[in-house]
Amino acid sequence: MIRAPIGRPTEILLVEDNLEDAGTTIQALKQGGIRCRVSLVRDGEEAMMFLRREGVFAQTPVPDVILLDMELPKKDGREVLFEIRNDDRLQGIPVLVVTASAVHRAVLQAEHLHIDGFMTKPVSLDQFITAVKSVRRSRLAELVLA
């Protein structure tokens, strides 16, 4: 007997400028059976407007997880991550960095920018699903223990 999922879907903010990569990510989530709602923004400035609920994003949901590409127009992923980690309202949101370059991990560590997961493109479906589910479980544990 299959049990119905309890609670609301995970709110995911996908920050990705490449529509093909965004489609692959959304498809992986769907195939992995992750119950979620994905909001897509395509550059760093849009990401920060979304997170701060400014302008057209005034009614957007607060994401449970951010999937952040590092190579973004207008404001790169490092700048976005820096702003997230230095904003009291946003710093608790888990961020999974998804990038084509493993070099970004060393840069983020050198700058002491905390990330909750790191995946190099192309990400295997199993690796991706495991990372997203792990963040979801840790967030639920925090809520139960709080």
For 90-135, the pLDDT digits (tens) are: 988 989 888 766 665 656 565 666 776 667 666 666 766 677 666 6
CA separation for the pair 129, 96 (Å, rounded) = 12
Angle between helices 125-145 and 19-31 (to 10 degrees): 70
Specify the pLDDT at position 146.
Answer: 43
* CATH of span 10-141: 3.40.50.2300
Specify the pLDDT at position 78.
Answer: 85
Specify the pLDDT at position 56.
Answer: 95
User: pTM of the prediction?
Assistant: 0.78
The structural domains of the chain, with segments of one domain joined by +, span 10-141
Residue with tokens 């970004």: 104
For 97, the token pair is: 């960095």
Rounded average pLDDT over 26-35: 80
Strands 65-69 vs 36-41: parallel, antiparallel or unpaired: unpaired
Tens of pLDDT, residue by residue over 36-95, are: 899 999 999 999 999 999 999 999 999 988 999 888 999 988 899 999 999 999 988 989
Contact 128, 32 (CB under 8 A): yes
